[in-house]
Amino acid sequence: MKKKVNPLVPAAVVLVVLCAAYGLITWNQHKKADALAGQTEDRQIYVTNLQGLTSISWEKDGQQGLAFKKEGDTWYYQSDKDCPIRQYTVTTLADTLARLSAGRQLETPDSLDSYGLNPPAVKFSMTSEDGTSQTLMIGNQVAGTGDTAAGYASTAAEYYACLEGGSQVYTIGNYLTETSGKGLYDFVETESLPYVAGTDIKEITVTRNGATRVFSKKTVDADNNIAWYKGSPDDEANRLPDNSDLNNLAEAISGLSIQSCTTYKATDEELGSYGLSTPDMTLSWTYEKGGDTGTVTLFIGSPNDEGTGYYTRMDDSRAINLISKDAVEKCLNAVYPE
């Protein structure tokens, strides 16, 4: 009598063989990918290779641009250490300059004049943490790059570049050329208002036309219904008959957000020119959100000349910031009890 063979056994053997083959193929693919990545890194051309920058400055078309200096882990604007610098922006620039990759290296370059490198359009000077100094020169745009077709860029713009004192010419991307055209306020860290919803706001103080009014909110029953009070919420005589006006004002306040910084350190005279010596309105609000509490005071001054926003100032800051016209006017036009 023949011994019966379980039909699942051959199938299991085939499955094991297939899994082993798949594992071997996957391992070989990963190995080839790692090898290719290493070859790509080996083939990459770098214009600079500096160990951590501590200073950066630049010139554009013969005019001095900006200069930044690093102390510890913090970048500062060299002309004014009090200027609040957006660290990520300068760090990105420093990392790019320290190890600048090239698109290609010209095999037999002509004279530097041929590439707009004598004199250059842009010069970046940098110093590394070991004291090494280098100057990168950037010249003409590479012909055929950055061209537009059908209304959009068909290729990214590239530029000729070389190190000052050297003769080797490279092509690089457009990031540094574009950065050289930026102003200080492209690097300034703009203040921000805390992000809260209208329901997070518990107290509002409004000062306008010489009069100050305080409104407070509290929960009044087990169903978490709220009521607004003019003055102290401890006195039920202060309770407002309708919450809608104060809810609308709280929503308007929650919609305020700073768009840009006009000046980070205004003088008393400048405060006056922005309508902030005697603000049109002063708003102060206290909020509770996720266990955090805080109070913000915002001074609202004059509209800007373009009519797109209003100049504002937060708390005791000397920075003048712009907030959109629509957002501010929701507060200016808000209705609240006299």
| Segment 236-262, tens digit of pLDDT | 999 999 999 999 999 999 999 999 999
Query: pLDDT per residue over 79-124, tens digit each?
Result: 999 999 999 999 999 999 999 999 999 999 999 999 999 999 999 9
State yes or no: pLDDT of 19 exceeds 60: no
The stretch 161-177 carries a mean pLDDT of: 97
The confidence band for 27, taking pLDDT boundaries of 50, 70 and 90, is low
The rounded mean pLDDT for the chain is 90
| Per-residue pLDDT tens over the stretch 195-226 | 999 999 999 999 999 999 999 999 999 999 99
pLDDT digits (tens, 9 = 90+) for 249-303: 999 999 999 999 999 999 999 999 999 999 999 999 999 999 899 999 999 999 9
pLDDT at residue 154, rounded to an integer: 66
DSSP character string of 143-190: TTSS-EETTEESS---EEEEETT----EEE-SHHHHHHT--GGGTB--
Predicted confidence (pLDDT) at residue 16 exceeds the cutoff of 80: no
User: What CA–CA distance (Å, rounded) separates 78 from 56?
Assistant: 9
Q: Which residue has the tokens 């102003």?
A: 183
3-state helix, strand, coil in the chain (%, to 5): 25, 35, 35
pLDDT tens digit sequence for 128-153: 999 999 999 999 999 999 876 555 55
Q: What are 321-337's pLDDT values in tens digits?
A: 999 999 999 999 999 98
Buried-exposed string 279-301: b where 16+ CB fall within 10 A, e elsewhere: bbbbbbbbbeeeeeeeebebbbb
Six-digit token pair at 243?
A: 């919450």
Read off the pLDDT of each residue in 145-170 and give the average, rounded to a whole number. 84
Counted residue by residue, the chain has a size of: 338
**With 50 as the cut, is the pLDDT of residue 13 above it?**
no
Residue 213's nearest CA partner among 335, 66, 43 is 335
Look at residue 33 in the predicted model and tell me its pLDDT. 44
Nearest Cα to 175, choosing from 92, 298, 283?
92
Q: Alpha-carbon distance 32 to 279, whole Å?
A: 67
Dihedral (CA of 215, 218, 221, 226) sign: positive
Q: Can you give the pLDDT at residue 302?
A: 98
Which amino acid is present at 115?
A: Y
